[in-house]
Amino acid sequence: MRPHFAAVIGDPVRRSLSPAIFRAFSLRLDRPLHYRAVTLEPGRLAEALGRAPSLPWLGWNVTIPFKVRILPLLDRVEGEALAAGAVNVVRFEHGRRIGYNTDAEGFLAPLRRMGVALRGKKALVLGAGGAARAVLAALRVEEAELRVLNRSRASAEELGRAFGAAAGTLDEAGRLAAEADLVVNATPLGQGGEGSPLPPGTRFKKGALAYDLVYRPARTPFLAAAEQAGARTLGGLAMLVAQATATWRIWFGAAPPPAMQGEVLRELEGTLA
Ligand code: NDP
């Protein structure tokens, strides 16, 4: 079978787990796929996308800092990506660049497996980048009550208007986390084990869930503090595997079966532990 070529494009991507996930699916499904992590300087996205259709790419995953700025450079943007205002998957088809978003679906998949009901629940999203957009788009569909806090107020307010969310800065995170049913860290704080978007001693509501999109380390300072305060916790690895599963479906037409997704998740958990 002819091998396919794909990559995750971003900066930084050196420590991305996406190549390991796609390698695992490729081996198990006997679908030859060469998948690499490609570091691209922020100013070179348009040039790389312009050249891509003449090269044998099947698709790209797109990550920090390109998820939003790639939109106007694509030939077509599909519904979920338009709703989120962010693209994390590109499929190259007959010289055309088509953008998708699988982060929203990936974000919800672990919550569905845990049986978390979101309708009317207070959701607090920390961060206002590409990932936060997908999270807010997903939570809006689930009819949660939305609030977004960010380091820079202007981006929080922009997302607030776009998604019907109350908006503010991270200075308010400690107080508002204590009132929320779901607190999502959609900032990179905690990557490499350093930093948290919440101040020390933050309280959580009884039964609240702390969901960190950061997946390395498995137990971030945000999750450790939430656990100590009695909250339930969920790390970002399950989302990463779920969005990769949806990406596979876009590129190859069918998603890897659920049992295989679970197997790959456990395999990766083992490497992060
Ligand atoms: P972006 O660069 O688009 O956005 C980053 C956001 O975090 C911005 O709101 C930014 O605030 C804020 N931020 C960055 N640095 C700091 C800091 N030092 N202190 C406070 N706030 C900060 O990134 P993404 O939205 O694409 O990704 C965010 C995180 O989510 C990353 O760690 C990424 O790896 C993770 N992720 C995980 C996924 C998964 O499947 N588990 C999927 C997608 C993302 P400001 O606007 O002020 O700059």
Q: Please choose, from the candidates 75, 99, 80, the residue with its C-alpha nearest in 3D space to the C-alpha of residue 9.
A: 99
CA-CA-CA-CA torsion sign (203, 236, 149, 221): positive
For residue 134, the one-letter residue type is: A
Q: What is the mean pLDDT of residues 9-22?
A: 95
Q: Whose CA is nearest to atom 28 of ligand 1?
A: 187
Catalytic site positions = 67
CB-based contacts of 121: which residues, under 8 Å, 6+ apart?
144, 145, 181, 182
- State yes or no: pLDDT of 273 exceeds 80: no
**Confidence label for 1 from pLDDT (cuts 50, 70 and 90):** confident
Q: Whose CA is nearest to atom 37 of ligand 1?
A: 213
**Confidence label for 205 from pLDDT (cuts 50, 70 and 90):** very high
- Tell which atom from ligand 1 comes closest to the C-alpha of 190: 32
- State yes or no: pLDDT of 90 exceeds 90: yes
Q: What is the mean pLDDT of residues 240-262?
A: 97
CB-based contacts of 242: which residues, under 8 Å, 6+ apart?
105, 106, 107, 109, 110, 261
Contact status, residue 148 vs residue 125, Cβ threshold 8 Å: yes
**Confidence label for 2 from pLDDT (cuts 50, 70 and 90):** confident
Q: Whose CA is nearest to atom 22 of ligand 1?
A: 187
- Tell which atom from ligand 1 comes closest to the C-alpha of 151: 47
pTM here? 0.96
Supply 10's token pair: 């971003």
- State yes or no: pLDDT of 258 exceeds 90: yes
Q: What is the mean pLDDT of residues 203-213?
A: 97
For the segment 49-72, what is each residue's pLDDT rounded down to a tens digit? Answer: 999 999 999 999 999 999 999 999
How far is ligand 1, taken at its centre, from the CA of residue 126, in Å?
9
Q: What is the mean pLDDT of residues 222-247?
A: 98
For the segment 108-141, what is each residue's pLDDT rounded down to a tens digit? Answer: 999 999 999 999 999 999 999 999 999 999 999 9
How far is ligand 1, taken at its centre, from the CA of residue 22, in Å?
23
Q: Whose CA is nearest to atom 7 of ligand 1?
A: 187
- State yes or no: pLDDT of 215 exceeds 80: yes
Q: What is the pLDDT of residue 3?
A: 85
Q: Please choose, from the candidates 104, 42, 103, 33, the residue with its C-alpha nearest in 3D space to the C-alpha of residue 73.
A: 42
Helix axes 258-272, 237-252, angle to 10 degrees: 140
CA distance 265 to 73: 33
Q: What is the number of other CB atoms lying within 10 angstroms of the CB of residue 3?
A: 11
Q: Which residues line ligand 1 (CB under 6 A)?
A: 63-65, 67, 103, 106, 127-132, 150-152, 155, 186-189, 191, 213-215, 236, 239-240, 243
